[in-house]
Amino acid sequence: MLEFINRMLGRETGSSKTVAKERLRLVLVHDRASISPAMLNKLKEDLIKVISNYMEIDESALEVNLCQDEREVALVANIPVMKMKRDYVNKGQ
Q: Which residue ranges make up the site for another protein (CB under 8 A)?
A: 14-18, 20-21, 23-25, 27-28, 31-32
Looking at beta carbons only, is 32 or 71 nearer to another protein?
32
| Beta pairing partners, 83 | 56
> 64: closest CA among 49, 50, 47?
47
Looking at beta carbons only, is 21 or 85 nearer to another protein?
21
Looking at beta carbons only, is 23 or 85 nearer to another protein?
23
Contact 27, 20 (CB under 8 A): no
Minimum CB–partner distance for residue 36 and another protein (Å): 9
DSSP class of residue 33 equals: T
